[in-house]
């Protein structure tokens, strides 16, 4: 059970207070997840735009490029934890040792 300090004394939260705390935490986590998903979508769209010229009528897409673009289009629905993905991406961009790029590899 969670506690709080009242007049210098530690007391347990009521069930209603405990539920309100859990609700706030859940809303906060959902908000963070939504922000990460929006960031991931923007980057995905940028990466797709960078390869749009490969999809023109007079250019034949290689199987590798088809697969890369399909994988990008499937994002972020294939990401189980967008916050973790975002953190890994940030750490990779910062050059942290041992952190791999979470994005699919462009052929």
Q: Supply the pLDDT for residue 103.
A: 94
Q: Per-residue pLDDT tens, the chain, 107 aa: give them.
A: 678 788 888 888 788 878 777 777 777 766 788 888 889 999 999 999 988 877 776 678 889 988 999 999 998 889 989 989 999 999 999 999 999 999 999 98
pTM score:
0.61
- The answer for residues whose C-beta is within 8 angstroms of residue 102's C-beta and 6 or more apart is 85, 88, 89, 92
């Amino acid at each position: 059970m969670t506690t709080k300090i009242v007049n210098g004394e530690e007391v347990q939260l009521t069930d209603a207070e405990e539920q309100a705390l859990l609700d706030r935490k859940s809303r906060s986590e959902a908000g963070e997840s939504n922000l990460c998903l929006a960031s991931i979508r923007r980057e995905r769209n940028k990466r797709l735009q960078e390869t749009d010229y490969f999809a023109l009528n007079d250019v034949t897409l290689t199987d590798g490029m088809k697969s890369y673009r399909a994988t990008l289009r499937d994002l972020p629905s294939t990401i189980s934890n967008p916050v973790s993905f975002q953190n890994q991406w940030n750490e990779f961009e910062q050059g942290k040792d041992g952190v791999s790029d979470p994005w699919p590899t462009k052929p």
